[in-house]
Chain A
Amino acid sequence: MRLPRLNNVILETTTKVVSYLILAFAIYLFLAGHNNPGGGFVAGLVTASALVLNYLTFDMETIEKRKNFHFRIMIGIGLLLAVGTGLGGVLFGQAFLTHAFGMFDLPFLGETELATATIFDLGVYFVVVGVTMTIILSIGADE
């Protein structure tokens, strides 16, 4: 017996609002990781939870139509970023994974400390999002 189509208006509207809040929280966690609790790993998991909420509310076909990349590619990009920051230290005659930082005068933020450890963290972020979504989707797509 085929059940009638369920009407999920409340869930879909809530998802559309809450997803942006969760993604903003993920960005905050990513940028706060240098001086406060947070970092690439937790930010990746929070982003993955926002994506999972979208996959829960809508179906797989709807989201596949709107995104034009594969989550497995994100793992490769993340690993390339992490190795690239390590090789950047070698390029300047230092040991592998030597990080640099400096104070810069940014237009809106004023005197800000920028560190290359952020790029390494971005690699961790991409790998965590890619691995989590690959695991969840390959289990979920199993018939």
Chain B
Amino acid sequence: MIEIIVNVGLVILAISILNCLYRVLRGPTRADKVIALDSLGVNLIGVIALLSMKFHTEAFADVILLFSILSFIGTVAASKYFEKGVIIERVRD
């Protein structure tokens, strides 16, 4: 029973990732693309959690935390680039 539920969840997350990918490719502005990539990362975290249930292992638990950290830092870096034009500035103005 749990196998069927995990498989259905994986299919739904795959459809959600495809929708995010459409927004990444056809987003009108750059901000749309960044938000779509961020939510694609969140969906990917869900996929990893479901796969670790499917494979009966706990070795992927670190990957989930690592993905969320990297997704957050990537989104912050992109927003800072859009806002200021530089990512690491020498002196704050």
Interface-facing stretch out of B24-32, B41-49, B69-77 = B69-77
B73 with A52: CB separation less than 8 A: yes
Identify A6's interface contact among B72, B76, B83, B86, CB under 8 A.
B83
- Say yes or no: is B93 at the interface (Cβ < 8 Å to chain A): yes
- Say yes or no: is B18 at the interface (Cβ < 8 Å to chain A): no
A25, B77: Cα distance in complex, Å: 21
Per-residue CB proximity of A47-67 to B under 8 Å, as 1/0? 001001101111111100000
A57, B90: Cα distance in complex, Å: 12
B90 with A59: CB separation less than 8 A: yes
Identify B73's interface contact among A49, A62, A140, A141, CB under 8 A.
A49
B69: chain A residues within 8 A (beta carbon)? 22, 25, 46, 49
- Say yes or no: is A68 at the interface (Cβ < 8 Å to chain B): no
Q: Distance (Å) between the CB of B16 and the closest chain A CB? A: 26
A42, B70: Cα distance in complex, Å: 12
A137 and B76 contact, Cβ closer than 8 Å, known pairs A6-B83, A22-B69, A36-B59 = no
A61 with B91: CB separation less than 8 A: yes
A49, B76: Cα distance in complex, Å: 12
Q: What is the interface residue range for chain B against chain A?
A: 20 to 34
How many residues on A have C-beta within 8 angstroms of the other chain's C-beta atoms?
31
B54: chain A residues within 8 A (beta carbon)? none
The main secondary structure of chain B at its interface with chain A is: helix
A59, B92: Cα distance in complex, Å: 6
Near B by CB (< 8 A), chain A positions 115-143 give: 136-137, 140-141, 143
- Say yes or no: is B15 at the interface (Cβ < 8 Å to chain A): no
Given contacts A59-B90, A141-B88, 12 further A-B contacts (CB under 8 A): A6-B84, A11-B76, A37-B63, A52-B73, A55-B88, A59-B91, A60-B89, A60-B91, A61-B90, A140-B86, A140-B87, A141-B90
A-side interface residues toward B, CB under 8 Å?
A: 2-3, 5-6, 11, 18, 22, 25, 29, 32, 36-38, 42, 46, 49, 52-53, 55-62, 136-137, 140-141, 143
B-side interface residues toward A, CB under 8 Å?
A: 59, 62-63, 65-66, 69-70, 72-73, 76-77, 80, 83-84, 86-93
